[in-house]
Structure 1
């Protein structure tokens, strides 16, 4: 997934979850934050950030904040890019190497599942979760309680009775991590649901990404510890 144009700035503040104030060449500029999560460990004053230029010139903000440097690690924090990255590279994942039909925003039950795919003998439901929370090489999801996330996990479990092959794919929006685990301290209900899903047979995968200031692509699988 590629952004057409990206510039660099320095993070100043975040007055609300949608807006960041960024220093661009000495000018304080309001930017849209493409992630409504807390991201407190990422958006610290003085952090180097990367801003994409949206296609709509009439927007109230001229830039989208899409990536940030945390120490020497570049992290993409655009919550919309994981779905696009998975759809773009789905066939590189061995489990999905033979799929011939890929659809996004597929309705199942009371939820919209991120990706539907099928091959000769299987119908897959793939729910994608972007991961930006990292501590000493361990990445966790979520960074805040997520009732919606729990609902999606329950829907994936339920889909098995209708003959689907469900998969929960955690897209780690950075490279060079040790393993993934649910963030039980923040959301024990999600952690319990994830364990229930694993025991029920839902496939749970986590992939790192190759991240540059203007792109993000799936890279390689990492260990999942439920």
Structure 2
């Protein structure tokens, strides 16, 4: 997934709220940037950190910049959660995710009842429903999800279990927005109910996959599969 425009270097002054941040550019200008991340960003919002933002030339937008990356001291992390689905979509279409490489048909945002699942992939014999979560809670070589209590995340796990019960494949794909981590686990210390539900989903036959991202100033690409522990 290539960025739509060049990234601009700066330093984080502060995150005002869930969707607004203040950035100092290298020339000293201070700008406000949209923060496309509704989580706590526990390890990704330290004031003074190097960041990369993107100018968005859209007259309809109040904020002309979007915050994309933060450097946590050892690696870049993409904090824009919308990028996860874009990376996964590209990888599914290119059939570069090994577990889904035999599914040539990819349908994003597939509606089921009153809900939507991120992706439905199909071949002539099978369907698989895939829900994607962006992971930016990273501590060294370990990462976890979620970084805040998530009722929406619980809902998605329950939907995947119901899909599996009906006879189709169902998968939870965690996309780590960095190439640093080497292992993944649910954040029981943040949301114990989510951890319980994830273990229940696995026992019910929901598949779990964790992939990293390869990040650069030009693009974000699918990285490698890493192990998880529940």
Same fold, judged at TM 0.5 (above): yes
Distance 1:95 1:136 in 2: 27
Change (3 A) 1:214 1:43: farther
SS in 1 for 2:220: strand
Q: 1:72 aligns with which of 60, 71, 74?
A: 74
Q: How many residues align?
A: 226
Matched, 1:98 2:102: yes
Q: 2:127 aligns with which of 115, 123, 129?
A: 123
The alpha-carbon deviation at position 120 of structure 1 amounts to: 2.4
Report which stretch shifted further, 62-71 or 109-118. 109-118
8 Å contact kept, 1:12–1:21? yes
Q: 1:57 aligns with which of 53, 56, 59?
A: 59
Q: 1:155 aligns with which of 154, 159, 162?
A: 159
Q: 1:32 aligns with which of 21, 31, 34?
A: 34
Matched, 1:18 2:7: no
Q: 1:216 aligns with which of 194, 216, 220?
A: 220
Distance 2:42 2:203 in 1: 33
Moved over 6 A (4+): none
The alpha-carbon deviation at position 55 of structure 1 amounts to: 4.0
8 Å contact kept, 1:68–1:76? yes
The alpha-carbon deviation at position 196 of structure 1 amounts to: 0.5
Distance 1:201 1:160 in 2: 7
Distance 1:73 1:142 in 2: 20
8 Å contact kept, 1:53–1:64? yes
8 Å contact kept, 2:210–2:228? yes
List runs of 5+ in structure 1 lacking aligned partners: none
Distance 1:214 1:77 in 2: 15
SS in 2 for 1:92: coil
Cross-structure match for 1:7: 8
Distance 1:148 1:16 in 2: 20
Cross-structure match for 2:198: 194
Distance 2:38 2:24 in 1: 20
Distance 1:89 1:55 in 2: 27
Cross-structure match for 2:182: 178
Per the normalisation by structure 2, the TM-score is 0.95
SS in 1 for 2:87: helix
SS in 1 for 2:43: coil
Q: 2:173 aligns with which of 155, 169, 175?
A: 169
CA deviation string 1:3-27 (max 9, x = no partner): 1221111100122111111001201
Report which stretch shifted further, 104-113 or 54-63. 54-63
Distance 1:20 1:110 in 2: 33
